[in-house]
Amino acid sequence: MAFITSTPTAPTVSLRPSLGSQSPGGRPNLKAAQTLAKLKALEKKSKIYRLPQEQLAIFTQQLASLLIAGLPLIQCLEALQEQTDDEAFSIIIRDVRLDVSSGTAFSAALRKFPRSFNQLFVSMVEAGEASGALAEILGKVAQYLESSVKLTKKVKSALTYPIAVIGLAVVLVTVLIMFVIPVFASMFADFGAKLPAPTQFLIDLSDFMVGYWWLIAALGTGAVFALRGYVATPAGRVHKDHLLLRAPIFGGLMHKIVLSRFCRTYATLVRSGVPILRSLEIVSSASNKSQIEAACAEIARHVSQGGQISDILASNSFFPPMMKHMVKAGEATGNVDGMMNKIADFYDAESEATVAALTSLIEPLLIVFLGVVVGGIVMAMFLPIFQLGVVAGGLQ
């Protein structure tokens, strides 16, 4: 992967102007004061900055390449700090470099920025420091992050189109109901006859939305906050995860992605020398799925008592039979992490195939959906015109 070659824009540690510096006219140097204020703002932002996973993958690959080339860690960090065009991330790299220069372990320096370097990344670095193979392990982390970013991009690209179309449909239907239908309603009122049921329903719905839009907005906002509050509870989170994985069309895709990440994360950690129980703990926190967290806790208890991972997988319906048999074969050959990687590759390929199939299937489904919704509204409003003789009463 090529290094970032953009011109650095982030201030470095040497850019600490003095507020007491004076311009030739005797006034404080405004530019120096602005630079100092910007630097302080960036330092504050860096403490809570969430580094995008794609950028973390690039950073990891570059750091691994520099270390393999034989450069000292401090010099590698200095080079990466100068090359990045993300000002907040430049401050983070600077602080990590200064900590390492003062004798702090690299993993301990990274742990100070948990929103940028997650538990998985820090544990891998810690394992690399303990084994003396930091460059090789960072290379494995980079491959893991790149594959995760690649799959995430494909899923997002598949979801962008339907979300945009459904959002446009909601806006269009709202405009029709609140602004177009009232015009037809005033016209039909002059007929003085009973309207067809679909037309009358839309007119009543339009009157309600126009008259009580504030109530609809309040109820919608309250429902969103109530749902978010419920999902934040342990029971609500479990319920949400079960509903998402059972959702039509996308539920199967999400299940495959969750299984792939579980296997890939576990295999990467174990192969890098992280102890099994610690690996399960990291996999649990990185999964963000209640099913995986419960399974990891059960596996950890079983393994600590001398059991096998395949025993828990066999008794948990969340894991498919194919996965259980492959893990059992890996235990028999002493190559569980290798089998986990193969399972992850399989589910990655399955996920990509599912995304491709959904992409080709979603477009005609959305066209049918828009045709039914918008076409139904138009037909309902034109029914009285088609039956003008009956509605007008006497114009037959």
pLDDT tens per residue across span 132-152: 888 888 888 888 888 888 888
189 and 255 co-located in one domain: yes
Of 117, 150, 177, the one marking the end of a domain is: 117
Lowest mean pLDDT among 25-29, 95-99, 105-109: 25-29
Which of 48, 83, 117 is at the close of a domain?
117
Q: Is residue 215 part of a domain?
A: yes
182, two tokens: 């009232």
**3-class state of residue 28 by DSSP:** strand
Query: Is 13:81 a contact under the CB 8 Å cutoff?
Result: no
Determine contact, residues 106/251, Cβ cutoff 8 Å. Answer: no
CATH number assigned to the domain comprising residue 54: 1.20.81.30
Q: Do 102 and 249 lie in a common domain?
A: no
How many residues does this entry show for the chain?
396
CA-closest candidate to residue 343, choices 320, 318, 326: 326
Strand partners, 22: 28
Q: Assess whether 48 and 186 both reside in one domain.
A: no
Above 60 in pLDDT, residue 27? no
Burial status of residue 263 (CB atoms within 10 A of its CB: 0-12, 13-18, 19 or more): buried
Domain boundary among 55, 89, 117: 117
Amino acid identity at 213: W
* Domain membership flag for residue 132: no
Confidence of residue 106 (pLDDT cuts 50, 70, 90): very high
Residue 192 pLDDT: 67
Q: Cα–Cα–Cα angle for 208, 211, 213, nearest 5°?
A: 85
> By three-state DSSP, how is residue 22 classified?
strand
Instruction: Examine the domain organization and report whether 301 and 236 are in the same domain.
Output: yes
Regarding whether 171 and 83 lie in a shared domain, the answer is no
Position 1 in a domain: no
Residue written as token pair 């079983």: 302
pLDDT confidence tier of residue 251, bands split at 50, 70 and 90: confident
User: Directed axis angle between helix 53-68 and helix 134-175, to 10°?
Assistant: 160
Smallest CA-to-CA distance from 67 within 126, 138, 127 is with: 138
Residue 388 confidence (pLDDT): 65
Q: State the pLDDT confidence band at 389, using cuts at 50, 70 and 90.
A: low
Q: pLDDT (tens digit, 9 = 90+) per residue, 222-234?
A: 999 999 999 889 8
- 23 pLDDT higher than 70: no
Do 237 and 347 sit in the same domain of this protein? Answer: yes
User: What is the structure's pLDDT at 390?
Assistant: 52
CA distance 154 to 174: 31
Over range 197-216, report the average pLDDT.
89
| φ, ψ for residue 28, nearest 5 deg | -60, 145
| pLDDT at position 394 over 50 | no
pLDDT of residue 12: 45
The answer as to whether 345 is a domain residue is: yes
Within-domain flag for 74:
yes
CA 57 to each of CA 150, 210, 301, 388: distance values in angstroms, whole numbers, following the listed order: 11, 50, 33, 66
- Write down the pLDDT at residue 222: 94
Q: Retrieve residue 221's tokens.
A: 């906002």
Rounded CA-CA distance 53/72 in Å is: 25
How many whole angstroms separate alpha carbon 123 and alpha carbon 272? 10
270-323 pLDDT per residue, tens? 888 888 888 888 888 888 888 898 999 999 998 888 888 888 888 888 899 888
Q: Are residues 368 and 270 in the same domain?
A: yes
Domain region containing 221: 165-396
Question: How many domains are contained in the chain?
Answer: 2
From the number of C-beta atoms within 10 Å of its C-beta (0-12, 13-18, 19+), residue 146 rates as: middle
Least confident piece of the model among 95-99, 300-304, 339-343, 386-390: 386-390
Q: 282: which 2 tokens?
A: 């990291």
Residue pair 93/66 in contact by the 8 Å Cβ criterion: no
Residue whose entry in the numeric block shows the structure tokens 């089998």:
339
Tell whether 49 and 182 lie within a shared domain: no
Task: Give the number of other Cβ atoms within 10 Å of residue 9's Cβ.
Answer: 10
> Does the pLDDT value for residue 24 go beyond 80?
no
Shared domain for 288 and 210, answered yes or no, is: yes
User: For residue 129, is it within any domain?
Assistant: no
Residues 181 and 295 in one domain: yes
Asked if 208 and 352 sit in the same domain, the reply is yes
Is 137 inside any structural domain? no
**207 and 77 share one domain:** no
Q: Is the model's pLDDT at 248 over the cut of 60?
A: yes
Q: Which residues of 364-384 are buried (b: 16+ CB within 10 A; e: fewer)?
A: eebeeebeeeeeebeebbebb
pLDDT score of 217 more than 50: yes
Distance from C-alpha of 354 to C-alpha of 347, rounded to nearest angstrom? 10
Q: What is the mean pLDDT of residues 107-135?
A: 87
Give CA–CA dist 52/47, Å, rounded: 15
Domain presence at residue 7: no
Query: SS3 for 204?
Result: helix
Flag whether pLDDT at 393 surpasses 80.
no
User: What average pLDDT does the structure give for the chain?
Assistant: 83
